[in-house]
Copies of this chain bind each other. A is one copy, B any other.
Amino acid sequence: MDQVNYRLPKRKDGQKTFDHILETAKKLFSKNGYQATSINEIINKAGIATGTFYLYFDDKFALYSYLLAKYRKSIRKAISEGIHDAHTRYEKERLGLRSFLKFAWQDPLAYRIIWESMFADKELFKEYYQTFSHDYVRQLNLAVGHGEVRDDVDLETLSYMLMGISNFVGLQVLFRDTLTDLDLDRITDNVMKVLKTGMFNEK
């Protein structure tokens, strides 16, 4: 991830092609998996010239890691917009979880792409969750300092617990046939009941 292996388009029509390549690759990756998808398939399905692909990406891995970075950003954006009005860690967890579940419901392909990254590149997968955990620990640490979160639990373990809860309750949501805003509230509230007594200090 240290070297730049992609080139962003400079003009509007280039942007359109670039986005179209990403969208095509996303569908193929999530349908057949990263390993089983070839550059040729992406090129054929997108209906572009071979040279056009290499104009933007060094190789399949470059495209994939760009996509993963993009999802990481959009998940974070969805969460940070969701928690915009929250002032306590508790409210941040609640609104953050709700935004994450909504994102998973609205973009199940993104969900699959991230899960599959374990197979695309083990280090990329590890780096993704370790960075997430690292940032989480920093936030939790502040909340411990404010007396909001209990101070007798290892925060790294707590961060993995919280990521696991979001991701698997995300599966519960994805396995459903329908999801209303009310369902989303109900599921979020159930999780928060357990977290309230589990990780937060009594007020």
Please give the residue numbers on chain A whose beta carbons come within 8 Å of chain B beta carbons, in ascending order. 32-36, 112, 115-116, 118-119, 126, 129-130, 133, 150, 152-154, 156-158, 160-161, 163-169, 171-172, 175, 186-187, 190-191, 193-195, 197-199
| With A118-B112, A119-B116 as contacts: A194 and B161 at CB distance below 8 Å | yes
Given contacts A154-B190, A161-B191, 14 further A-B contacts (CB under 8 A): A112-B118, A115-B115, A116-B118, A126-B175, A129-B175, A152-B193, A153-B194, A154-B186, A154-B187, A157-B172, A157-B187, A164-B164, A164-B165, A198-B199
Query: In the complex, are the beta carbons of A156 and B172 less than 8 A apart?
Result: yes
Each complex incorporates copies of this chain amounting to 2
Query: In the complex, are the beta carbons of B175 and A157 less than 8 A apart?
Result: no
- Pick 13 A–B contacts, CB within 8 A, sort by A: A126-B175, A133-B172, A153-B193, A153-B194, A154-B187, A156-B172, A161-B164, A161-B191, A163-B168, A164-B166, A164-B168, A165-B165, A194-B198
Return the chain B residue nearest A29 by Cβ. Answer: B119
Query: In the complex, are the beta carbons of A119 and B112 less than 8 A apart?
Result: yes
Q: Which of B115, B158, B163, B186 contacts A118 (CB 8 A)?
A: B115
Query: In the complex, are the beta carbons of B169 and A167 less than 8 A apart?
Result: no
- Chain B residue numbers with a CB within 8 Å of A156 are 172
Q: Which of B34, B157, B168 contacts A161 (CB 8 A)?
A: B168
- Chain B residue numbers with a CB within 8 Å of A186 are 154
Q: How far is the CA of A35 from the CA of B41 in the complex (A)?
A: 14
Q: How far is the CA of A152 from the CA of B197 in the complex (A)?
A: 13
